[in-house]
Structures are given as structure tokens and as C-alpha cells.
Amino acid sequence: MSFKAISNYQIIHEFKNSKIGLFGIAILLFLICISIYAILTIPLDSYRQWNNPNYWINYPKAAMPAWINIFSSLKQPEHLMMDKPIISQQVEEGTITVKNTYKFLFNYDFFPSDFMLNYAVQYGVIPPIVSIQLTRPDGNTFELVSKSLPSAEGNMSSFYDTIYSTQDDIKHNLRSYLHKFSYDVDDSRPEQMLFSSQSGPRVLKGQYMLTQSFTFFNGEDHVLNSQLIVGGKVYGLLGTDELRRDLSIGLLWGTPIALLIGLSVSILSILIGSVYGVMAAYKGKRIEQGMMMIVQFFVSIPTIPILIIFSVSIGQSIFLIIGFLIIFSSVGQALVSRSMGLQIKNFQYVEASKLLGERDTKIVFRHILPQLVPYLFANIALSVPGAILGEAGLSFFGLGDPTIPTWGQIFHDAQTFSATARGLWWWILPPGVMIGITGLAFVLIGYTLESLVNPQKKGN
Amino acid sequence: MSFLRFFIARLLTVLVVLSAVILMTISLLGTSMDDILKTSIKQDVVLAVTQDTKLSSNFKNLQDRQHYIDNQIEGTIHAEGLDEPWYSPRSMGTKFLKTMTLDLGRARFLTSDSGSQQVSNIILEKLPKTILLFSTSTIIITFIGLYLGAFSANRIGSLVDRFTSAAAIFSSSAPVFVVGVFMILVFAYFYQVLPARATPLTPPTDPYYILDLLYHMILPLATIILTGFGGWAYITRSLVINILNEDFIAVKRSQGIAEKKIIYSHALKNAAPPVIITVALSLSASLSGALIFETIFNWPGMGLLYFNAINLRDTPVILGQTYVLVLIFLITNFIVDMIYGLIDPRVKLV
């Protein structure tokens, strides 16, 4: 490799004149924006809970992204999760009535898959009465549930309950409204009957209002929380997976993680590799041979099988993975920088500083390494995709860090549930596309930097 | 340095690296490696006693039989040094030899298609499938890459040349498995023209098996070629450009030899060896992609086996596979080195 010096000005100039370089920087900026957005807006908690199935219990299963409704004339129902009802309180002699009202628009062409109501109350000796009514856009009000909660075990105990649309008492109560429908409506499926038009088997669109009222007989009784979920077939920006996880959280949070893995591995491995290689070149003789033998050893073993054995036997931590990747990707740089070091070593100013009696480390760090900097930038950019792919590969085989979900792990889960064969494209394409465009950004930047240091490689 | 000395030096390197990798692996696995071998010894002894009817009839009762089995197991474990701590020389020696000969006993959960539980049988059954897919695709990629590279080297700045550069960027940034998923979704799910599962359904004895296999290989092959040829073409292009500037090409031109012949016959002939070597040496990078790729396409090779073995934590299989892959990788690199040494004598000096 021939050698020449390059200034910062030349780097800026090269990028200004290179379309692919600018495109690469644009993608990188986009990824950085996503990372900042993810860190600022998505609570770390929901990301930490990625592998905890209980956290996602209220989410829909394998729901498509919500924006697909834009492209189809028939609208799929969106999954609605409401936990901020309008609360009103009424005190009569001896009783307190608390009403939680949920208003929601249902303008879709298909019935919801189900609905459920989670709530928690705290009460004393006399159990409260719970009743649920649904007011439809056509003005009809259906009474769904009316029941007394079980008597309290102690004073002021908390009671958690979920009312499902498939419950028998709902079906039973709905039977008394069958006459309101002009056709034979299916009363065994409350989620369909409640959202059906009176004149025919189609969805009644408009604003629905679900009221849950609690009648308390003690002064201190109160509702702790309440949540209504209307199950739909589409959800959020990127849909959900088979395990009900919101894919947008994993995917958006995956961006800063991938950039962290890619950049830390590439920067550290290039720095370590080049210091190692230049040191070897400068020292020469036996030391050089010994150092290069170690490099040859690492170059001649395949990375992925060895990383798999490491992960299986040592453990699955993101820091271990980063460490392994640094070792394996620094050896290539060590080979390259050694050959460059051999050239610079014989430059006159290096000889001069040697004669002046400067220390070896000072000569290497002050006089030889700075000459390599432009090359290092190119190599750093070009080795980022390899690092991200290395982690994605390990994660794909199920050896990723379980506490930190990455794109590779989402890909792994999608493969485990055979998402491709089932056509769950929103699960398997986004992580793949993200890995691809992140790689593309750094390859484009790397090519631009490389064409600066190696003009004979320049395309068109 | 003579070729023989070069050969021996490289062979020694291969052996040293292989031994070092095995030693490192068995040290990393520590006691769990001992457990694997002990379990396999137990199973072997029990099987041997059960199958030996003459021996079985000699036992008076079940306790007697159990006692005999326990003795046998203990004896074998002691003989192989596995009762000593995992780092003792005898235990390490046994494990080293067993790994070398792929004698890793039985898999915990996985079986081969023929029903065998032996790790070696499972791996040796999957290996040819991997080799079939990747040798076929490599040969096709070589031809496309060499000719496209030579073609665009002759027409720098043309449409084909720009296409080659774009394909090179695509090759180095688009992971093969992502493209694979995309291809499956498009061609097997949305437009159902090609099968998503790469395993043919006809039995291997059927005369149409080869045709069915080829039909099932279309999608995976197309994916590998699509993501692979760009890199090759780009390397060929820059090498051919360099060669076209050399004096002997100018001489050929002055002799009035047709430009086509100069490029495809003379320049390409000189560029081919370094291209093949460069790409062969980058096998390590493509190996991980290849393993993932197989899983995506359900291709019953080493990659899919890795995926299943890791999901089931079937350590004997993982260990055996790692050994086999390292071995194949070292042998490939060794052969490439040898060929390079024969073609280009300068290498031997390094």
C-alpha cells in the first residue's frame, strides 16, 4: 500500500463532492435521530421488560402495523388500550357511586377480536357492586355485567379482577337484547353482537361509551385502577409479534444499541489493531515475528463458530460479545498497519527522532500513528457493518444478551416462530432492513474515505 | 524457500492452530465437557450390556446387573482419566483425542434423519448439503463476477460499470439473510411461484429427485448470487484495470489483437488467480452469513443444525460442529495457500 498524508480539509472536500458519501452521512444522521428519539421518549422500563411475557399481556398477538389501513379500503380495527377513564363520583345516603367512563371511536370495517376490562378496588367489610354498560352510537345501552364482588377477607383488602368479553354472564345478559336486532345475531360472540348494526351483520361505526360503575357501601372504599382493552388486529407503528411485544420499542431501542456495538467494536478494534501492528513493525526482528504469529493464529480461525463456543461456555453478555468481536476484528487491522508501519519506519524524520534519543513509545504514538489516522477513519467506518453483523449473527443463533434486545434477537424470535412462512412481514423485515441500512451508511462513508486515501480504487 | 519447506511450514501452522483451538475449547467447557463424555460412556455401557444376551443371562437379579454396569462405567471412566479433575493431563488428553476423532458420543436431543443419535453421524449427514449449496453458488458467482468485472473494467463510467459499483456496495452492506427473507416473502409468500422450504419432498431414490432439488435450490441460489457477485466483480474490475495499464497489454494492442480478446483472454487470465485467492481468503466473513442463511431457507445443512442445537442447548453437537467447521476452514485456507504458492512464488517469501 502506498502512503501519503491527508488533511482534514481534504476529507471535507471529498465528502462535499461525493453523492454516495453525503447519502451515507444522511442515513447515519437519520439513525442518530432515531436513537435520540428512542432514548428520550420510550421509557427504559418497557425496553427492560422485553423478555417478560407478563408485561405484554394486554397487547395484541401478531398485529399488523396500524398504518396499513391507509392502503386498504376496508379498515382493520386498531388495538385500543385505555387506562384514563373519565371519573365521576356521586354520594347518596350511605352509598358512593363511582363511574369510570371510556369513550372511544370505532370506525373500522371488522369486529374487534375481543375486549377486556382490568380493574382493582380496595374495600372493607361490605363488598361493592360492579356494573358495566355499553352505550352504542345508535343510542342503545346494553347492560353487560352486574355483580357483587366477593366479600373481603380482611379490612380494606385489595381485589384485582378482569372481565373478559367471552364470560358467560355477559353472553347471558346479552340474550335479553336479541329482539333489538332485525336479523339472527350470534349471541355467543359478545364482541360481535355489541358492535353489530341493528339492521344487518356489519359493524356499527361511531362513538361508543363504556361505563363501569362501582357502588360502595363504606366511606373509604375506592377504585385503585381500571383499564379497558378493545382487541384489534393492527397496532402502533410497527405492529406486535407472536409474544405480543410492541415491535417499535424493540426496533427503535435497537438503534442506539446497534450503533453502540458497531462503533465501540470498530473504534476499539481499529485502534488496538493499529497500535499492535505499528508496534510490531517498529520493534522488528524476533518481537515482530512473535507478535505476528499471534495475529496469524486469530486470522486463521473462523469467527462465528468460535464465538458460538465462547458464548455457550462463558455466558451471554453484551460486553463479552463486544470484547470477543474486538479481538477478532483487530487482527485484520494489525496486519494492514504493520505493513504501513514498515514503510513509515524508514522515513527520515523517524530515523532522526530515533537518533535524537526519543523513547520508542513516543516515536510510535507521536510520529508514526498520526500518519495512519485518515486510513483508520476509513477502516473504522468499513468495519462497523461487520461488527453489527457479528452481533446479529450471534443473536440470530439465540446467543444474544437476554437483558438487551437487539435487531438480531428480534430476527431470531421471528425465525423461531417461522414468521417468513406465515407471512408476518412486519416482524421480520424491519430488523433486517435496519441492519441493512446501518451497514449501508457506514459502507458508503467508508468508501468515500477510502477513495480519498486510495485514489486508484475510485469508482466512475 | 523451496515449495516443500513452504508446504511443511503451512501444514505445521494448521496443526498448531487446530490443536490450540481444541485445547481452548475444552478448557472453556471445563467440567461440562467431562459430563458430556461420562454420559456418553454410561449410555454405551448400558447399551452394550443390554445387547449382549449371553452376558445378560448370567445375572442372577437386577441388583447384580446394576452392579456390573456400575463397575464397567467406573472402570471406563477411570481408564480414560475422566475421574480426575478436568484440567489433569490424562483427562485433557482423552478429551483432545475424542474431539479430534469427532467421537463425542450422543447428542442430547437431536437425531440424524436416519435416526442415529451419534454426533458424528448427525454432522456428517448435514455437511454435504452445506457443501453442495455453497460450492454451486461459489462457482456461479465466480463466473458472473469475473466476466462482469472484466466487462466494466473495459468501459469505465458506463452504465454496466455503475451497476457493478452499486452491486459492490449492495454486496458489502446487505446481509445475505436479510435479502433471503425478502426473497422468500416476495417469491414464496406474496407471489407463490417458488418454494420457501429448500428441502425437496420427493425421496432421494426418485429419478426426478435431482430436478426437484434444483427447483428447490433456485431461491437460495438466486439470493446468494444476488448478494455475492458484486464484491467479486468489483475486485476483478480494479485488478483488470491495473493489468490493462501494463506494458504487455500495450504490446498486444500494438500487435493488432482484438480488444475483446485482450480483455477476456489476456487481462482476465492474469487477474483471475488473485481474485480467487482474495475471495477464498475472505471465507470467514461469508461463513457466518452462510450459516444464518441456511436457517432462513430451512436448508438442512450445518447452519440449521447450529440453530437447532443452540436452541436446545445440545452441547455435544455444538462442540462437534465447531470442530468440523474450524477443520474445514483451516483445510480450505491451506489448499488456497498451496495453490497461491504454486501460482505466485513471491508468497512463499512471506
Grid look-up 446497534 returns: A258
Q: Count of CB contacts below 8 A, A vs B?
A: 145
Contact A440 B174 (CB under 8 A): yes
Number of alpha helices (DSSP H) and beta strands (DSSP E) in chain B = 15, 0
Query: CA–CA separation, B66 vs B45, rounded Å?
Result: 11
| Mean pLDDT score across all residues of chain A | 85
Contact of A23 with chain B, judged by CB distance below 8 Å, is answered with no
B interface test, pick of A288, A296, A301 with most B CB neighbours within 10 Å: A301
- Find, in chain B, the residue whose alpha carbon is nearest to that of A293: B13
- Chain B contact for A458 (CB, 8 A cutoff): no
Residues from chain B that touch A423, judged by Cβ atoms under 8 A, are 185, 189-190
Asked if residue B172 lies in contact with residue A24, where contact means CB atoms within 8 angstroms, the answer is no
Among candidates A302, A399, A433 on the partner chain, residue whose Cβ is nearest the Cβ of B287: A302
Contact A397 B197 (CB under 8 A): no
The answer to whether A72 faces chain B, any CB pair under 8 Å, is no
Q: Per-residue pLDDT for A236 more than 60?
A: yes
Domain parsing of chain A, residue ranges: 8-49+245-453, 66-230
Instruction: Identify all chain B residues contacting A416, using CB atoms and an 8 Å cutoff.
Output: 311
Chain B residue numbers with beta carbons less than 8 Å from the beta carbon of A397 are 291-292, 306-307, 310
Looking at residue A262, what is its pLDDT?
Answer: 93
B27, closest residue in chain A (CA to CA): A313
Which residues on chain B are in Cβ contact (under 8 Å) with A303?
A: 284-285, 287-288
Q: Which residues of B touch A251 (CB under 8 A)?
A: none
Instruction: Name the pTM for this structure.
Output: 0.82
Task: Tell me the HSE value of B58 on the side-chain side, using a 13 A CA sphere.
Answer: 9
* Position B82 pLDDT exceeds 80: no
pLDDT in tens, A128-140: 888 988 888 888 8
pLDDT in tens, B231-263: 888 888 888 888 888 888 888 888 888 888 888
Cα A252 to Cα A264: distance, rounded to the nearest angstrom? 19
Of A298, A370, A326, the residue nearest A6 (C-alpha): A370
C-alpha cell of residue A318: 453484551
Confidence at residue B349, expressed as pLDDT on a 0 to 100 scale: 47
* Interface contact A302-B178, CB threshold 8 A: no
C-alpha cell of residue A110: 371488522
* Subunit contact A456:B321, Cβ cutoff 8 A: no
User: What does the pLDDT look like over A187-202, one tens digit per residue?
Assistant: 788 888 888 888 888 8
Q: A428: closest CA among B220, B185, B191, B197?
A: B185
User: Which whole-number Å values give the CA distances from B211 to A417, B65, B172, B191, in the listed order?
Assistant: 30, 54, 32, 22
Mean pLDDT value of segment B104-131: 82
- Each residue of A147-175: pLDDT tens digit? 888 887 767 778 888 888 888 888 888 88
**Pairwise CB contact (< 8 Å): B238 & A457:** yes
All cell numbers assigned to B277: 485467492
Q: Which domains does chain B have, with CATH numbers?
A: 3-100 (no CATH), 119-312 (1.10.3720.10)
Tell me, which fold does domain A8-49+245-453 have in CATH?
MetI-like fold (1.10.3720)
Task: Write down the residue that cell numbers 367471552 correspond to.
Answer: A166
Measured CA to CA, the distance from residue A192 to residue A62 in angstroms comes to 21
- B27 to each of A75, B33, B34, B81, B92, how far by Cα in Å? 59, 9, 11, 16, 8
Average pLDDT score over residue span B171-185: 83
Are residues A460 and B165, on separate chains, in Cβ contact within 8 Å?
A: yes
**8 A C-beta contact, residue A311 and residue B315:** no
Cα–Cα distance for residue pair B320/A30, rounded to 1 Å: 43
Cα angle for residues A48, A237, A388 (degrees, 5° grid): 55
Q: Does A385 touch chain B (CB under 8 A)?
A: yes
What's the mean pLDDT in A247-268?
A: 92
pLDDT number for residue B350: 44
Tell me how crowded residue B317 is: count the other CB atoms within 10 A of its CB: 25
Tell me which residue in A297, A314, A436 faces B175 most closely, judged by beta carbons: A436
Domain A66-230 annotated CATH 1.20.120: no
Least confident of A274-288, A410-424, B56-70, B166-180: B56-70
Contact A308 B310 (CB under 8 A): yes
CA distance A101 to A133: 10
Q: How far apart are CA A8 and CA A14, in angstroms?
A: 10
Mean pLDDT of B110-120: 80
User: Which 8-state DSSP code applies to residue A128?
Assistant: P
C-alpha separations of A426 from A27, A411, B25 in Å: 21, 11, 39
pLDDT score, position A36:
93
Predicted local distance difference test score (pLDDT) of residue A407: 92
Which residue of B20, B292, B322 is in closest CB contact with A309?
Answer: B322
Distance from CA of B24 to the nearest CA of A (A): 10
ipTM: 0.80
What share of chain A in percent tops pLDDT 70? 97
Closest CA to B22 of B274, B320, B343, B280: B320
